[in-house]
Amino acid sequence: MSATVISGKELAKEKRESMKKEVELLKKEGIQPGLAVILVGEDPASQSYVKAKQKACEETGIYSVLHKLDDSITEIQLLDAIESLNNDPLIHGILVQLPLPSHISEKAVIESISPAKDVDGFHPISVGKMMIGDETFLPCTPFGIVEMIKSQGIAIEGKHVVVIGRSNIVGKPVGQLLLNENATVTYCHSRTKDMKSITKQADILVVAVGKANFIDASFIKEGSVVIDVGVNRLDTGKLCGDVVYDEAKEIASFITPVPGGVGPMTITMLLFNTIQSAKKLVVSVK
């Protein structure tokens, strides 16, 4: 039997429609959610992601500003730009597009963003709160993945989740969020021995490696849920995930496609976090 395809694109569309209504109501209260995106340099992939984020803001009624900075900028200049956005009352969310040029410390930059405007959820304060289950901005890709799983009525509690990848922006936090939902979580990574024997036990397999065709059908348990976080641009220009989709689709019960899967949900949760941030301000003004 062929798996049910979880369309991130469709779910994103639904969520963005209801967020648009929420933004209209907020505007009536005199507040328009505002997102600032900082892009350093000319990387074509980063440029296209940033464009997609801006378009999504526009469609939802969120105010967005793009700060395009030359890649010769110094770290101090970038930190100054962030500081002025931290103090800008029209801005509720700040996103610095990663990766940054190698002469700039990503750690210093992330830590300079006010935790109150950290809509990416990358600041150590946000990460710590997520870890202990306190309310905070959740990182957009992991948050989007949890929403996709829940949208299908799939129970997470008690399930064996296997995450392949341990990056700070996807692998580690997606495991933590699913643990918070009472899953049993195992992490696999480049030093894992006999990865297949572990992934074969996964009820929910999250693949965040960044290598095209890394996971074929032989790694997947019959009837499992396969979440493909990979965004790999092939030489042909085609975008593909980390999973051999056509094979996996015949074994899994649910699968996310690339494109049209996790990517559009990442942007949607960024909009969600920006609206949440603006709402906190409304409450504090009242």
Nearest-approach distance from CB 284 to ligand GUE, in angstroms: 26
Answer yes or no: is 224 a known binding residue: no
Q: In what order do the strands lie in the sheet with 93-96?
A: 63-69, 34-40, 93-96
Answer yes or no: is 96 a known binding residue: no
Q: Catalytic: 276?
A: no
Nearest-approach distance from CB 159 to ligand GUE, in angstroms: 25
Nearest-approach distance from CB 276 to ligand GUE, in angstroms: 16
Rounded Cα–Cα distance for residues 232 and 28 (Å):
42
The smaller minimum CB distance to ligand GUE, of residues 122 and 254, is found at 122
- Whole-number Cα distances in Å, 58 to 16, 55, 169: 11, 5, 25
Nearest-approach distance from CB 100 to ligand GUE, in angstroms: 9
The smaller minimum CB distance to ligand GUE, of residues 95 and 145, is found at 95
Answer yes or no: is 166 a known binding residue: yes
Nearest-approach distance from CB 167 to ligand GUE, in angstroms: 11
Answer yes or no: is 231 a known binding residue: yes
The smaller minimum CB distance to ligand GUE, of residues 3 and 56, is found at 56
The smaller minimum CB distance to ligand GUE, of residues 162 and 258, is found at 258
Nearest to 92 by CA among 65, 74, 126, 53: 65
Q: Give contact residues for ligand GUE (rule: CB under 6 A).
A: 48-49, 52, 95-98, 120, 140, 231, 239, 258-260, 263-264, 266-267
Rounded Cα–Cα distance for residues 56 and 61 (Å):
9
Q: Catalytic: 54?
A: no
The smaller minimum CB distance to ligand GUE, of residues 98 and 281, is found at 98
The smaller minimum CB distance to ligand GUE, of residues 55 and 150, is found at 55
**Residue showing tokens 């710590």:** 128
- Which of these is catalytic: 117, 118, 120, 203? 120
Q: Are 158 and 182 in contact (CB under 8 A)?
A: yes
Nearest-approach distance from CB 97 to ligand GUE, in angstroms: 5
Q: Which residue is nearest to ligand GUE (CB)?
A: 263
**Residue showing tokens 């341990």:** 166
- Which of these is catalytic: 15, 97, 159, 228? 97
Extract the annotated binding site for NADP(+).
165-167, 231
> Which residues are annotated as catalytic?
53, 97, 120
